[in-house]
Amino acid sequence: MLTTIHMTEIASYHLTAEEISLEEKQIKAAQANPRDFEPLYKRYFQRIANYIYHRVEDKETAFELTSQVFYKALENLPKYKPMGVPFSAWLFRIAGNEMNQYFRKNKTMRVLSIDRDGLGELKGDMEENDQPEIDKQLFEALQTLKEEDMELVNMRFFEKRSFKEICEILDMNESACKMKLYRILEKLKQHLTLATKH
């Protein structure tokens, strides 16, 4: 399955410990009474819709998948256990599963959107110079990554997610997640080294 990459602006989402604590109270209320799910739905619907849309690039499909995510979230809410990260991490994991099913079923191209700030941060972590030709070579290098590797780079550098949140979404432990990202960055560096020699 192919992945296309587009430049875009993506907002980052972070919650303070106090906001997470308040959210956990809302989740408990919704677990006791599904009608109390509405504030969580209103808070996250647009974020999940954007997350999916940036990967499918079709509004109708994005809204269908987003509706499915919230249906499954409400259905499985009684089993949800707070992990000290925003509730959105769990929703993004459901969204990821829904999109993977969609891509497998429809054999459709996956789209990932990146922004200039994230690209700069990625180059910084790779200790690369900020030169226009490096951007082109880095775009090419990103295209060579496996889907799950590109998703990790995307969440860390372009969606500005913390490792804790990424690990919750991907269901990985933090040290394994960091090691995987380190290996991906090394792979990208090797690609850039080869590109500059030609």
Per CATH, the number for 1-114 is 1.10.1740.10
Spell out the domain ranges in the chain: 1-114, 115-198
pLDDT band at residue 123 using 50, 70 and 90 as cut-offs: confident
Q: Summarize pLDDT for 145-176 with one digit per residue, the tens.
A: 888 898 889 888 888 888 888 888 888 889 99
Q: Summarize pLDDT for 127-141 with one digit per residue, the tens.
A: 776 666 777 888 888
Which residue is associated with the tokens 């980052």?
Answer: 12
Q: Calculate ∠ Cα 145-132-194, nearest 5°.
A: 45
Backbone angles phi, psi at 110, to 5 degrees: -90, 140
Q: Which residues pair with 113 in a beta bridge?
A: 6
For the chain, what percentages of helix, strand and coil (3-state, to nearest 5) are there? 75, 5, 20
Which pLDDT belongs to residue 130?
65
Fold type of domain 115-198: Arc Repressor Mutant, subunit A (1.10.10)
SS3 for 44?
helix
